[in-house]
């Protein structure tokens, strides 16, 4: 099953999941993209406000009210998944990605279904050397089997031999894409873990899982369309939809 955490509060762009993008709300567009993935038996939107609940039910989506106290989308997914014990695989789709690629979601679903994989996510190549020093661009280093070794907002792996700030792209230069997949037992386990020191330093919840000794498998895909975080992002998305007739 797929779960779309849809928290109404947002610091940089208030109420962004309900903002209109060329005739459809942001969360409606995310839901529409998820419905294109044939392997999903169920798509549920996890909400935390009555206003959002009424809105998503208005366009025909299945919605579940969740606690306002969750600190991460993973915790919100765990609350919803507990109500659907028949599903062993769960995909977490961010609620601010109106152009999420159904092909990426399909790949993630097949990755989590592999034997021995209990936690999975997606990565893509960094697009520009400046991405190394952008703290909003989360970097990830993996082993030869595609398992994540570390995630960071800093430049990893650090290119010591180069002049400071003159990083070059290479096969180790990966950006994390914030889509997750879990085996049910792993989702329930990680949702009970307390925040770890690395997570608190970097503000990245996936470090909590690595600190606990869990493996996060990755698949490399092409760079996705950007999500919505600011008014400028919203304006670009509206223009894109108008030009494409979406």
Tens place of pLDDT for every residue, the chain, 246 residues?
999 999 998 878 889 999 999 999 999 999 999 999 999 999 999 999 999 999 999 999 999 999 999 989 999 999 999 999 999 999 999 999 999 999 999 999 999 999 999 999 999 999 888 888 889 899 999 999 999 999 999 988 877 766 655 667 677 779 999 999 999 999 999 999 999 999 999 999 999 999 999 999 999 999 898 889 899 999 999 999 999 898
Bridge partners (DSSP) of residue 152 are 139
pLDDT on residue 133: 84
- CATH dotted code for 1-100+230-246: 3.90.550.10
Q: How far apart are CA 47 and CA 80, in angstroms?
A: 10
pLDDT on residue 171: 74
pLDDT on residue 227: 87
pLDDT on residue 165: 58
Report helix, strand or coil for 217.
strand
pLDDT on residue 226: 85
Torsion angle of the four alpha carbons 70, 74, 80, 84, in this order, in degrees rounded to the nearest 10: -160
pLDDT on residue 161: 65
pLDDT on residue 191: 95
Q: How far apart are CA 152 and CA 129, in angstroms?
A: 16
Ordered DSSP codes for 141-180: EE-TTSBEEEEESS-SS--TTSPTT-----TT-EEEEEEE
pLDDT on residue 166: 63
Please give the model's pTM, rounded to 2 decimal places. Answer: 0.93
């Amino acid at each position: 099953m797929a779960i779309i955490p849809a928290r109404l509060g947002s610091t940089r762009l208030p109420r962004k999941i309900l903002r209109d993008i060329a005739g459809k709300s942001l969360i409606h567009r995310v839901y529409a993209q998820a419905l294109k993935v044939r392997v999903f038996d169920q798509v549920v939107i996890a909400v935390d406000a009555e206003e959002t609940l009424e809105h998503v039910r208005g366009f025909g989506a299945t919605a579940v009210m969740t606690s306002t106290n969750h600190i991460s989308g993973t915790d919100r997914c765990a609350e919803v998944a507990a109500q659907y014990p028949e599903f062993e695989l769960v995909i977490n789709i961010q609620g601010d990605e109106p152009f999420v690629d159904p092909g990426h979601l399909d790949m993630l679903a097949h990755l989590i279904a592999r034997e021995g994989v209990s936690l999975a996510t997606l990565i893509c190549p960094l697009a520009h050397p400046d991405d190394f020093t952008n703290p909003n661009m989360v970097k990830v280093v993996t082993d030869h089997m595609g398992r994540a070794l570390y995630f960071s907002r800093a430049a990893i792996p650090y290119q010591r031999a180069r002049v400071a700030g003159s990083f070059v792209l290479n096969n180790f230069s990966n950006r994390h894409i914030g889509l997750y997949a879990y085996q049910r037992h792993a989702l329930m386990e990680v949702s009970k873990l307390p925040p770890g020191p690395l997570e608190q330093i970097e503000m990245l919840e996936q470090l909590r899982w690595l600190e606990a000794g869990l493996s996060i498998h990755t698949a490399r895909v092409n760079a996705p369309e950007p999500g919505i975080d600011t008014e400028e992002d919203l304006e670009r998305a509206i223009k894109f939809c108008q030009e494409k007739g979406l």
